[in-house]
């Protein structure tokens, strides 16, 4: 089997980058990491810029990690943010896929529907294709102190 390596140019957008650097990243990178603050304070605040709207129109996948932390005031503010982002992508005739990851969360489909305003489908262990390795667990009973 021949291996094919695909190199994706990636970058993180932070508040410390100059506007020119941020625009260079959105033009030249395939994977871009942003916090909700950067999406709100820079990306959506500058949506009138043609380069930024072109970027929003080209988004194929939005991944949100640690989605169980999006609760309370942070969760409600994030829900407004994600819905604004979805609206702008729809205006640009774009409907990317959303993927969320969480270690533990009660009622994940309900939580995600509330957060993003769209239906999510849970992928459980039955569809998990990550590699599995045999694990051997040994339980050791330590000697009592009196045995020394």
pLDDT, tens only, 33-87: 999 999 999 999 999 999 999 999 999 999 999 999 999 999 999 999 999 999 9
Of 13, 34, 35, 31, the closest CA to residue 23 belongs to 13
Q: What are phi and psi of 147, to 5 degrees?
A: -80, -10
82 vs 92: CA distance, rounded Å: 15
Q: How confident is the model at residue 121, as a pLDDT?
A: 86
Q: How confident is the model at residue 4, as a pLDDT?
A: 56
Sequence-separated (6 or more) residues with CB below 8 Å from residue 15: 37, 38, 41, 42
- CA distances 119 to 44, 55, 65, 127, Å, are 24, 24, 17, 18
Q: Domains of the chain: which residue ranges?
A: 10-147
Assigned superfamily of 10-147: P-loop containing nucleotide triphosphate hydrolases (3.40.50.300)
Sequence-separated (6 or more) residues with CB below 8 Å from residue 104: 68
Of 66, 64, 72, the closest CA to residue 104 belongs to 66
Average pLDDT, the chain: 87
Q: How confident is the model at residue 124, as a pLDDT?
A: 76
126 forms beta bridges with none
Q: Which residue has the higher pLDDT, 103 or 77?
A: 77
Q: What are phi and psi of 133, to 5 degrees?
A: -125, 145
Q: How confident is the model at residue 9, as a pLDDT?
A: 79
Segment 103-108 mean pLDDT: 82
pTM: 0.74
Give the range with max mean pLDDT: 49-53, 123-127, 139-143.
Answer: 49-53
Name which of 25-34, 39-48, 122-131 the model is least confident about. Answer: 122-131
Q: How confident is the model at residue 112, as a pLDDT?
A: 93
Crossing angle for the helix pair 50-58 and 19-28, nearest 10 degrees? 40
């Amino acid at each position: 089997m021949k291996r094919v390596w695909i190199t994706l140019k990636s970058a993180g957008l932070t508040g410390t980058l100059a506007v020119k650097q941020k625009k260079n990243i959105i033009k030249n990178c395939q994977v871009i990491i942003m916090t909700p603050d950067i999406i709100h304070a820079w990306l959506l605040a500058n949506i009138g810029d043609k380069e930024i709207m072109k970027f929003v129109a080209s988004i194929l996948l939005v991944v949100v990690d640690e989605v169980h932390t999006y609760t309370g005031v942070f969760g409600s503010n994030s829900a407004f943010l994600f819905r604004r982002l979805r609206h702008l992508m729809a205006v640009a005739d774009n409907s990317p896929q959303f993927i969320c990851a969480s270690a533990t969360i009660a009622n994940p489909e309900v939580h995600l529907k509330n957060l993003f305003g769209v239906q999510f489908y849970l992928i459980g262990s039955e569809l998990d294709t990550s590699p599995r390795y045999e694990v051997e667990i040994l339980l050791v009973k330590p000697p009592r102190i009196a045995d020394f």
